[in-house]
Amino acid sequence: MRPLLRSKRWLAGLVAALLVTMLSVGSAAALDGFGVKTPVDLLGREVDATEATAVTIAVQPPQALAADAEISVDIAGDAAEVAAVDPYTEHGTVATVFVVDNSAQSVDRYGLEAIKTAVVQSISELKDGTLVEIITSGDEPTVLSAMTADKQASLASLDGLVAVDGTDRWKAMDMAADSLIDVDGLRNVVVMALSSHTGREADLLEVRTQFADEAIAVLAVGEEGQVYSGLDRMADLGGGAVIPIGSSDQLVDGTVDASESIANTIWIDARPAEPLEQGVLTSASVAIDEAHLDLTFGAGRVSQGHADLASLQVLRSSSSGGILSSSAVKWIGALLALVAAGLAAWAIGMVFVRNDGLDDALAAYDGNYRPGGEEEVGEDDNRSALGSSATIQRAVDFTGQMAERRGWLTSMGALLARADIPLRPAEALFLMVVTGALATVLGLLLGGPLLGLIMLGLAIFLPPAAIRFMVKRRARTFERALPEMLALVAGTLKAGYSLMQGLGTVSEQVDGPMGVELRRVVTETQLGRPLEESLDTVAERMESDDFGWAVMAIRIQREVGGNLAELLLTVADTMTQRERLRREVNSLTAEGRVSAIVLGALPVALGVIMYVLNPDYTGMLLTERSGNIALGVAIVVAIAGFFWMKKIIDIDV
């Protein structure tokens, strides 16, 4: 039991470390966790489906639309006719508010001229007719230039830009939202996040809700620690983007990229193959060259922002570079999933499809056997189906050698023997390594680093957990059959059989793990191994104290004599009484066990429900450092409370 307890402690520590790691990277992983887009993505802004036969879609391409750009639209699963593609400003109003960080901290780092240059060049990139407003986000935010379509007036106001103390980002963005409420069209906020926020963090939730309700797109430009501090969530809710930067040159380029993304916004007139049914949730797919975007919208109305216009799938365009830019990711992911599924199916099949013939009976004595049921690795004999391939066999042997150096092979061999799984330890470890690697790569390709980390954790913990579950289930079945087996053996002894004859007869009549273990004892004894030694090995392998007592009784009787049949019946009756007492204790402690399970699962269930119903209210637990700390403390306390209650109600009989 001690090795098993140590394994449990090691597993609990590893789980705790994994949780801490995931929490510590919560802010950095928010980009992947919330699906925030970057300027290299095709961004969906608006779908006007008020007419059943004509749908207009406003999207922001990764770059300015080329003359020969290939544009296709599918609506409700059918190809739609693209009747027209125009700049959005020809059909609607575009308004953009620049929230400029002019705090002394940001000025010291980037320079006042770099900040001005970034705003000047960004405004210059906007199309004529775009409404522009400039707000400074100092300790006391001010409107530097009111909403106007006159670019020159906006640019002239930058002469009054000076460094100030502090940064009240949320108050400045609240002022921007107030200016955009009355605008009928696409509303954008380009916010510089260059310094630490010094205003009230309590304003974040209110501002975030307002931006989501008004479908205001946030394009955040700044250092990663700033743009991923609430702004990433706001960008996701409004269909915006984040642009991490780290220098004055990147500040200018990043802000210009934000303006170009707004200026690139196009208006697509698509004609569905069939008239849309009003009031029905409908899907649309837009493809511009290599960029692809899937959307849902309500037929019969105008849908804007994340609340109405849910982005289902966004694939990076070819301009982003890297492996994620290719549509082959789907095929790679599918192939890896098939390989992993095939290996898993093979392993499960090997568990349930066994060969109980003479070869298996003699396998323990083919030269790879050691007392205690452990196996040596490195021999060429008795290989399973996995070792039929020379290449795979070499990989398996290498895995076995590495595991043996770290002492993993012996423990894995014992665990497989207890679970009655017909795999060598090296083969099992090889399967775990392969499936773990495939699962991790699949997670990285499909969901990024966070999903890859989760898949790696599952690949590490699930296979051993499944094997231990099989061990416990087999041990329980063995224990339940033990009194009946002893009674049957006692009956054969009263009938005049010897102990060996009785064990052989009973082994042929009993199914399940008891029959398997008894047949192994008979085979080993026939091959010359002492009976008591074989029986002790069974007790050790099954971790059965009751069977160990029965073996002790047999050993004492063979040394001092006596009526073995009556002795076995007495032992069986004692085991039956103990089992009855154990069931009574379990019945009395059932309420406590259920309470522990309910109290342990309740916080998780309530957390998930609250996040689904109101993600803005609970989202701060994942996006803010204080929320990460609070969530981590809550998880640790909940786990500690669960195991504390389990310890109280765990009574050993």
Over the stretch 424-439, which tens digit does the pLDDT of each residue have? 777 777 777 777 777 7
Q: What percent of the chain has pLDDT over 90?
A: 10
Q: Which residue has the tokens 């006159």?
A: 150
Predicted confidence (pLDDT) at residue 382 exceeds the cutoff of 60: no
Number of CB atoms found within 10 A of residue 557's CB: 17
Between 382 and 254, the more confident residue is 254
Other CB atoms within 10 A of residue 103 CB: 26
For 241, the token pair is 């983007």
Per the confidence metrics, is the pTM higher than 0.85?
no
Distance, in Å, from the CA atom of 107 to the CA atom of 137, rounded to the nearest integer, reads 12
pLDDT recorded at residue 367: 40
Share of the chain above pLDDT 70, in %: 74
Separation of first and last alpha carbons in the chain:
16
Q: Bridge partners of 449?
A: none
Residue 310 has pLDDT above 60, yes or no: no
Q: Which residues on adjacent β-strands are paired with residue 56?
A: 48, 269
Distance CA 362, CA 365 (A): 6
The answer, yes or no, to whether residue 131 has pLDDT greater than 90, is yes
User: Rounded distance, CA 196 to CA 169, Å?
Assistant: 9
CB 386 within 8 A of CB 423: yes
pLDDT at 355: 45
* Burial of residue 429, with CB atoms counted within 10 A of its CB: 0-12 exposed, 13-18 middle, 19 or more buried: buried
Among residues 115, 160, 122, the alpha carbon closest in space to that of 142 is found at 160
Contacts of 203 (CB under 8 A, 6+ apart): 170, 171, 174
Residue range 27-32: average pLDDT? 33
Whole-number pLDDT of residue 542: 84
Task: Output the CA torsion sign for 304, 307, 313, 314.
Answer: positive
Q: Which of 268, 331, 349 is nearest to 87 (CA)?
A: 268
**CB contact set of 74 (below 8 Å; sequence gap of 6+):** 80, 284, 285
238: pLDDT strictly greater than 50: yes
- Residues 274-284 have pLDDT tens digits of 898 887 888 88
Which positions ≥6 away from 425 have C-beta within 8 Å?
375, 377, 400, 403, 408, 409, 410, 412, 413, 416
**What is the distance of C-alpha 490 from the center of its chain?**
55
Q: Which residue carries 């939202």 as its tokens?
A: 177
- What is the pLDDT, as a whole number, of residue 96? 94
Determine the average pLDDT of the residues in 254-273: 89
* 63: helix, strand or coil: coil
Please determine, for residue 137, whether its predicted confidence score (pLDDT) is greater than 90.
no
- Averaged confidence pLDDT in the chain: 75
Average pLDDT over residues 325-338: 52
Helices (H) and strands (E) in the chain, counts: 26, 17
Give the number of C-alpha atoms closer than 13 A to the C-alpha of residue 144, restricted to the C-beta side: 27
DSSP 278: T
Q: What is the reported pLDDT for 354? A: 46
Residue 97 near residue 190 (C-beta atoms within 8 A): yes
> Which of residues 367 and 177 earns the better pLDDT score?
177
DSSP character string of 279-297? T-EEEEEEEETTEEEEEEE
Q: How far apart are CA 566 and CA 312, in angstroms?
A: 72
pLDDT of residue 305: 67
| Residue 304 in this model has a pLDDT that exceeds 60 | yes
Q: What is the pLDDT of residue 147?
A: 93
Q: Look at 173-187, 198-212, 321-335, 569-583 and tell me which has the smallest mean pLDDT.
A: 321-335
Strands 281-288 and 302-304: unpaired
Q: Quick: pLDDT tens for 441-458.
A: 777 776 667 777 887 888
Please tell me the least confidently modeled range out of 300-304, 488-492, 590-594.
590-594
How far is residue 30 from each of residues 33, 209, 231, measured CA to CA in Å?
A: 5, 18, 10
- The per-residue pLDDT for 134 is 94
Q: Answer whether 262's CB lies under 8 Å from 126's CB.
A: yes
Q: Dump the DSSP string for 332-387.
A: HHHHHHHHHHHHHHHHHHHHH----SHHHHHGGGSS-EETTTEE--S-SSS--GGG
Q: What is the DSSP code string of 122-188? A: HHHHSPTT-EEEEEE-SSS-EEEEEEES-HHHHHHGGGG---BS---HHHHHHHHHHHHTT--EEEE
Q: How confident is the model at residue 399 (pLDDT cuts 50, 70, 90)?
A: low
Whether the pLDDT of residue 316 is over 70: the answer is no
Alpha-carbon torsion angle 527, 528, 529, 530, nearest 10? 130
The pLDDT, as a whole number, for residue 28 is 34
How far apart CA 615 and CA 310 sit, in angstroms, is 15
Specify whether the CB–CB gap between 267 and 45 falls below 8 A. no
- Look at 56-60, 152-156, 266-270, 356-360 and tell me which has the smallest mean pLDDT: 356-360
Taking residues 8-18, report their average pLDDT. Answer: 43
Residue 390, pLDDT above cutoff 60: no
Cβ atoms 293, 285 nearer than 8 A: yes
Task: Give 87-120 pLDDT, tens digit per residue.
Answer: 998 988 999 999 998 888 888 888 999 999 999 9
Which of 149-153, 244-248, 414-418 reaches the highest mean pLDDT? 149-153
Confidence class for position 36, pLDDT limits 50, 70, 90: very low
Look at residues 414, 569, 589, 372 and name the one whose alpha carbon lies nearest to residue 483. Answer: 569
Decide if 240 contacts 77 (C-beta within 8 A).
no
More confident residue, 559 or 397: 559
At 464-516, the pLDDT tens digits run: 888 888 888 888 888 888 888 888 888 888 888 888 888 888 888 888 888 88
pLDDT for the residue 17: 42
Lowest mean pLDDT among 5-9, 498-502, 530-534: 5-9
pLDDT of residue 124: 92
Evaluate if residue 373 carries a pLDDT over 60: no
In a 3-state reduction of DSSP, which class is residue 523? helix
Residue 568: pLDDT over 80: yes
- Spatial contact of 295 and 312, defined as CB atoms under 8 Å apart: yes
Please, where are the H alpha helices in 495-589? Answer: 499-509, 512-526, 531-542, 545-560, 564-588
pLDDT band at 13 (very low <50, low <70, confident <90, very high): very low
Confidence band (pLDDT; 50, 70, 90) for 313? very low
Of the ranges 92-101, 148-157, 321-330, which one carries the lowest mean pLDDT score? 321-330
Q: What pLDDT, on a 0 to 100 scale, did the predictor assign at position 25?
A: 38
